[in-house]
Amino acid sequence: MTAPAALYGLIIASICGFAFHFIRGGGLSRLLLYLATAWLSFFTGHFVGEWLNWRLARFGPLNLFPAVLAAIIGMLLASFLAGPEKGKPSGRAG
């Protein structure tokens, strides 16, 4: 993978992380969690797509479909595992 492709991948993964944070909400710690998860899972998805020889939605040397799919799955999993944010009401009437 070339340096420009890695930079482009970081930009795409960051956009995914920011969009997920915009939809799900949360504080700064959640934003950092979603960004780190998006970066890690995006490049993991890209490399798994290369390993499995998937050629769907390629942009230069990047496998965008498996990378974005892995980023979305990774952020959903991170959000689920992190649980509700502390100090935020859980939505139940008490």
**All residues at 6 or more sequence positions from 81 whose CB lies less than 8 Å from its CB, including other chains:** none
Residue 61 forms part of a structural domain: yes
Q: Which domain range does residue 53 map to?
A: 27-82
Amino acid at site 61: P
Residue 51 forms part of a structural domain: yes
Residue 92 forms part of a structural domain: no
Residue 20 forms part of a structural domain: no
Residue 11 forms part of a structural domain: no
Residue 72 forms part of a structural domain: yes
Considering its fold, how many domains does the chain have in total? 1
pTM of the model: 0.81
Residue 18 forms part of a structural domain: no
Residue 93 forms part of a structural domain: no
**All residues at 6 or more sequence positions from 63 whose CB lies less than 8 Å from its CB, including other chains:** 45, 46, 49, 50, 54, 55, 56, 57
3-state secondary structure of 62: strand
pLDDT in tens, the chain (94 residues): 788 888 989 999 999 999 999 998 888 988 999 999 999 999 999 999 989 888 888 888 888 899 999 999 999 999 898 888 776 655 555 4
| Radius of gyration (C-alpha) of the chain in whole angstroms | 15
